[in-house]
């Protein structure tokens, strides 16, 4: 049994100080007041869950879809406090998609923090592609979706689609087969987006980016999210994809339905997605914004420092809310008895001290 002594933590959004957290067989077995005299102001928080990340550790998964790439991504992300992630694949050729899916299936039996795949495309709206390659974009057929999910054998956990470009039976089939459907790279009207959410589309990909905007006569996708009582949305809080002031007002309206992603890529000079680092962001060779260099911890810090979001709520956006979306909140995203001991120890300035994964302390 391992004990993390004398830490501050949040339970039900309430800060509880000077707690000892005991870990047994990879699970949190006890939380109790510490008898230690140490007065350090360290925080023990849930491990981060990133549902949209393309690359880490210098590897862009779709550019080199190998077991080695997933291993490198896992190790790099664990050292940064991301204890669960979906590897994201942008719109590409069927061969690349198949290679990524095949590798993910091969890898999952030995996976640690890799939770599956997020397919961002190719079933998008050509009017809102951002950095996605137009020649790969198409409308889905039900037969194609059935074949894709059969080949995926459960490893495809999330898909970003433009619902206004797809038939209802395609979307319903995804939902019926436990794929989280996210509205994104979409030019849907307010009415079309609301219809999609009412039919079961659960979330939205990178709020405000690559979607119909708010206009006083055409309210667009963001207003549909603001008005809905269930629709969630991811957001990239790097100060590049969105101004922090926009994050502020989005949080006030979307509340607990808003969660963090990094949308992070890594430098790549081959294939259709050649990401070039430009300061603290990445761009395509033509200058199109193509991804972030964000970490989940920096996103949390940005929420607190720039967006008037309280610490416990920023942490929820990075852990509990994405865990809820993918159906993992029963054992991830919280520090509670019988939860998996995936946790991060931070100092009082929110610098990373230690990562615990399945109860094991990792060197960072």
Residues 319, 324, 326, 331: what is their CA dihedral angle, to the nearest 10 degrees?
70
Domains in the chain, CATH or no CATH each: 2-45+333-362 (2.30.40.10), 48-325 (3.20.20.140)
Say how many C-beta atoms besides its own lie within 10 A of residue 306's C-beta.
15
In angstroms and rounded to an integer, the radius of gyration of the C-alpha atoms of the chain is 20
- The predicted pLDDT at position 39 comes to 61
Question: What is the rounded average pLDDT for all residues in the chain?
Answer: 95
Residue from 292, 296, 295, 235 nearest 267 by CA: 292
Is residue 280 annotated as a catalytic residue, yes or no?
no
Is-contact 172 179, C-beta < 8 A? no
Classify 46 as helix, strand or coil: strand
On the question of a cis peptide bond just before residue 122, with omega within 30 degrees of 0, the verdict is: yes
Pull the structure tokens for residue 352.
Answer: 């990373």
Give me the catalytic one of 263, 278, 280, 308. Answer: 263
Classify 129 as helix, strand or coil: coil
Residues 211, 217, 222, 225: what is their CA dihedral angle, to the nearest 10 degrees?
-130
Tens of each residue's pLDDT in the chain, 364 residues = 899 999 999 998 899 999 999 999 999 999 999 987 666 789 999 999 999 999 999 999 999 999 999 999 999 999 999 999 999 999 999 999 999 999 999 999 999 999 999 999 999 999 999 999 999 999 999 999 999 999 999 999 999 999 999 999 999 999 999 999 999 999 999 999 999 999 999 999 999 999 999 999 999 999 999 999 999 999 999 999 999 999 999 999 999 999 999 999 999 888 888 999 988 889 989 999 999 999 999 999 999 999 999 999 999 999 999 999 999 988 899 999 999 999 999 999 999 999 999 999 997 7
- In order of 59, 232, 292, 349, the CA distances from 298 in angstroms are 20, 21, 11, 12
- In order of 45, 64, 70, 97, 175, the CA distances from 104 in angstroms are 28, 12, 8, 11, 21
> Each residue of 91-145: pLDDT tens digit?
999 999 999 999 999 999 999 999 999 999 999 999 999 999 999 999 999 999 9
Q: What letters, b where the CB count within 10 A reaches 16 and e where it falls short, cover 137-167?
A: beebeeeebeebbeebeebbbbbbbbbbbbe
> Each residue of 191-224: pLDDT tens digit?
999 999 999 999 999 999 999 999 999 999 999 9
Spatial separation of the C-alpha atoms in residues 362 and 364, rounded to whole Å: 6
Classify 354 as helix, strand or coil: strand
Residue from 234, 225, 235 nearest 190 by CA: 225
pTM, rounded to two decimals: 0.97
């Amino acid at each position: 049994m391992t004990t993390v002594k004398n830490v501050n933590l949040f339970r039900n959004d309430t800060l509880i100080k000077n707690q000892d957290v005991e870990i047994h067989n990879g699970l949190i077995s006890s939380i109790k007041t510490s008898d230690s005299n140490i007065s350090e102001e360290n925080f023990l928080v849930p491990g981060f869950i990133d549902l949209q990340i393309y690359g880490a550790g210098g590897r862009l998964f779709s550019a080199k879809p190998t077991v080695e790439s997933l291993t490198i991504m896992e190790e790099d992300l664990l050292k940064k406090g991301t204890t669960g992630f979906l590897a994201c694949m942008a719109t590409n050729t069927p061969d690349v998609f198949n290679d990524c899916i095949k590798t993910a299936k091969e890898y999952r039996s030995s996976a640690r923090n890799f939770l599956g795949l997020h397919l961002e495309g190719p079933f998008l709206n050509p009017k809102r592609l951002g950095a996605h390659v137009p020649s790969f974009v198409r409308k889905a057929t039900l037969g194609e979706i059935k074949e894709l999910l059969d080949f995926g054998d459960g490893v495809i956990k999330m898909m970003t689609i433009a619902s206004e470009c797809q038939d209802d039976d395609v979307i319903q089939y995804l939902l019926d087969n436990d794929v989280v459907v996210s509205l994104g790279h979409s030019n849907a009207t307010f009415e079309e987006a609301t219809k999609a959410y009412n039919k079961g589309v659960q979330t939205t990909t990178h709020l405000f980016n690559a979607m119909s905007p708010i206009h006083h006569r055409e309210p667009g996708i963001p207003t549909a999210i603001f008005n809905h009582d269930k629709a969630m949305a991811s957001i990239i809080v790097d100060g590049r994809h969105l101004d922090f002031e926009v994050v502020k007002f989005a949080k006030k309206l979307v509340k607990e339905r808003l969660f963090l992603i990094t949308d992070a890529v890594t430098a790549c000079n081959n294939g259709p997605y050649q990401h070039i680092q430009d300061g603290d962001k990445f761009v395509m060779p033509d200058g199109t914004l193509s991804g972030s260099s964000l970490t989940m911890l920096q996103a949390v810090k940005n929420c607190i420092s720039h967006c008037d979001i309280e610490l416990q709520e920023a942490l929820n956006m990075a852990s509990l809310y994405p865990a809820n979306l993918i159906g993992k909140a029963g054992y991830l995203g919280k520090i509670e008895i019988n939860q998996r001991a995936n946790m991060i120890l931070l100092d009082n300035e929110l610098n990373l001290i230690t990562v615990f994964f399945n109860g094991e302390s990792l060197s960072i």
